[in-house]
Amino acid sequence: MQGWQIRVRGQVQGVGFRPFVWGLARRAGLVGHVLNDAEGVLVRVAGPRAALEAMRAALEDEAPALSRVDAVELADWAVPDPAPEGFDIAASGPAGAETRVTPDAATCPDCLAEIRDPGARRYRYPFTNCTNCGPRFTIIEGLPYDRPKTTMAPFGMCPACRAEYEDPGDRRFHAQPIACPDCGPRAWAEADGAELEGEAVALAAEALLAGKIVAVKGLGGFHLACDATDAAAIERLRARKHRPAKPLALMAAAGVLARHAAPNAEEWSLLREPAAPIVLIDKAGDPLPDALAPGMAALGWMLPYTPLHHLLCAAVGRPLVMTSGNMSGAPQAVGNDEARRALAGLADLFVMHDRTIARRLDDSVERVLPSGPVVLRRARGRVPGTLPLPEGFGSAGQVLALGGQMKAALCLTKTGQALLGHHLGELDVAETWSAWQQALADYRALFDHHPDVVAVDLHPGYRATQAGEAMGLPVIGVQHHHAHLASVMGENGWPLDGGPVAGIVLDGLGLGADGTIWGGELLLGGYRGFERVAWLKPAPLAGGDAANREPWRNTLMRLDQAGLGALADALMPDKPREVLRRAVASGVNAPLSSSAGRLFDAVAFALGAAPERMSYEGEAGMRLEALAATSGTRQSWPFAVAGGEIDPAPMWRAWAAERDRPAAEAAMMFHRGLAAAFAGEARALVAAGRAEAVALSGGVMQNAVLLAALLEALEGVPVLLHHGVPAGDGGLALGQALVAAARSA
């Protein structure tokens, strides 16, 4: 008999890994034990070598669906005398934070069948789960992942649940959130602070079908729901939430969804993943009210991902708006009392439950782009998944990266892994800033993180930057667009010494290394440093921050630059043009910026695709993309390139000369022209041997039309793209962490 100690690292707790190992060992006649500890799963096993080798292979090849095995490490085990008589699941080892925490997972088919079966004891029970599904990160309060360290601790198991929990052959063996109607959490409906008689789901369905707005407590917080076929209900929700135009997320069972959309195979695959994200899908089939996403070609859909959602969707039989339970801009409510206060003026009815939410998590948002599936907002179902640090970062210490001001997210590096945190929002909102501070303390405590260095954005006005500088630790400032470049390099495993990369980084705004405002850049470099090789010709941000909200200001500046001031006067006769021109000429509140985002705003307004004042970030650019997507033209507008400067003036003059051209065609020609200009400069760097590959990053890279044009223009060149890390500021912290690790190594 030979003895092995097998260490399994990765996402291996809370996914049924121990009963999986128990089953393998029992079937092979092996003896020993398996347990959870601070580093993952530890197996001590003895038996014939052939059986041990077969078990070792199965640990990776047949691992449970929710697990992610990073490493399987072998060592000899001195088999005690006498040897164990069988194979057991031992008590968990000491607490620690060297293992990964499993994200929340959508209801599995087995649990869904139970809640639909009138003969099952969990029939219509809203908190049904097993080791293959259910809450994880939103209930965990400490490691290792055991029930006493979750928000399920107050719910003592009834004898029936205890029997399932202790049976290694049951799919609920050591399922920490295990519950049933006799012993687990309960749901109820209430109005005006008073609980209503009747089943919560039935009361909520009745209210939704009557056009009312219902606050529903989910996994990571509250949603505000209404009937997505009811235009009046949608308008009421928008008015109460102060959200005039930003797209609203939808939830529906697969059959209902298919009546209003036509997901392709990749989109269906995303929808059905355990993460159950919101997926942007083009409108199709039976039309829904345009007020769901004004001016957009796609709607954001998700399938029900908790038993409560499944029951509610089945009872209503229609698509539901399922948007964050908050006032626009504020974090979503998570606690019952918090929801009663924050949502009192928004919801007509509340669906509450008494399981505490340990941390707020928005829904993840994803999309299938020409490059494949990508994450736009990384949140529920995706966090706290980790990414391996690229080759060359093995000796990197612990780094804490604090991200930016918009779409804030944190990143922690430890033991060769980077943990990119969840979407937190805009830090200029007081409630979001408080949530950011809570998330920082939460991640550091949960993962026992003790950073050697803090990485921050160069902008001194960012709250995250100020917080990093106040920590009393060494601080490394990382230029915004360099962080974007490092982020996409890191996601693709580009080695620390893998050679320079040409990075096309297009976004809204970021403080440049020269003190000006960047946003349309071609960078050349790696993790340790970069050179700015080309950039959009800067234009004044007339009125400062106002230019980020009012697209016409950018149109005015770009037309003036192109010598088309008279056209600008004709396009916007009622705007204070001369006042702005005098302010710009005097250098008053008009910083120069190479922002690609503001150029998109300018074109969108000129083509009639943008409102005079945007109600959410990126609205003008998203509308311009939707407009361009309706044209199949292969033509493009010209851009001038000289001395590293990419000047859109020729594009404006060409458009002015052909203003009778359909707006959709003009929008597509702009996208293709911009892509050709940047791709041409990047290709030249690769052809000259100065770059090994081209990387695409920045928030504008979430534009499917632009990305398709760039990939076409870069055909034959190695290209690094985002997939699981957001291209926008939600991925910024990963890049900051890698740059800081490279510089401090």
Burial classification of residue 236, based on how many CB atoms lie within 10 Å of its CB (0-12 exposed, 13-18 middle, 19 or more buried): middle
Q: How far is CA 101 from CA 11, 220, 361, in A?
A: 6, 15, 15
Alpha-carbon distance 166 to 88, whole Å?
A: 12
Are 577 and 520 a contacting pair, CB within 8 Å?
Answer: no
Dist. CA 374–CA 362, nearest whole Å: 17
Residue type at 53 in one-letter notation: E
Q: Give the residue from 389, 388, 400 showing the smallest Cα distance to 441.
A: 400
Give the full edge-to-edge strand order of the sheet including 31-37.
Answer: 68-76, 2-11, 40-47, 31-37, 87-89
- Is position 18 annotated as part of the catalytic site? yes
Beta bridge partners of 134: 105
What does the block give as tokens for 378? Answer: 């990384």
- Buried-exposed string 589-598: b where 16+ CB fall within 10 A, e elsewhere: bbeebbbbbb
Distance CA 468, CA 401 (A): 9
Beta strand 250-251 pairing with 298-302? parallel
Tokens describing residue 713 = 């223009």
> Which is catalytic among the residues 9, 18, 558, 672?
18
Provide the residue type at 656 as one letter: A
Instruction: Give the CA distances from residue 414 to residues 103, 383, 452, 491, 501, in Å, rounded to whole numbers and listed in that order.
Output: 18, 16, 11, 16, 25
- What does the angle CA 351 – CA 354 – CA 357 come to, to the nearest 5 degrees? 95
Between the alpha carbon of residue 545 and those of residues 508, 542, 590, 597, the distances in Å are: 12, 8, 9, 13
| 36 flagged as catalytic | yes
Of the residues 9, 36, 124, 243, which is catalytic? 36
- Nearest CA to 302 among 282, 325, 322, 326? 322
**What does DSSP say about strands 501-511 and 693-697: parallel, antiparallel, or unpaired?**
parallel
Angle of the 732-744 helix axis to the 480-491 helix axis, nearest 10: 90
Q: Catalytic site residues? A: 18, 36
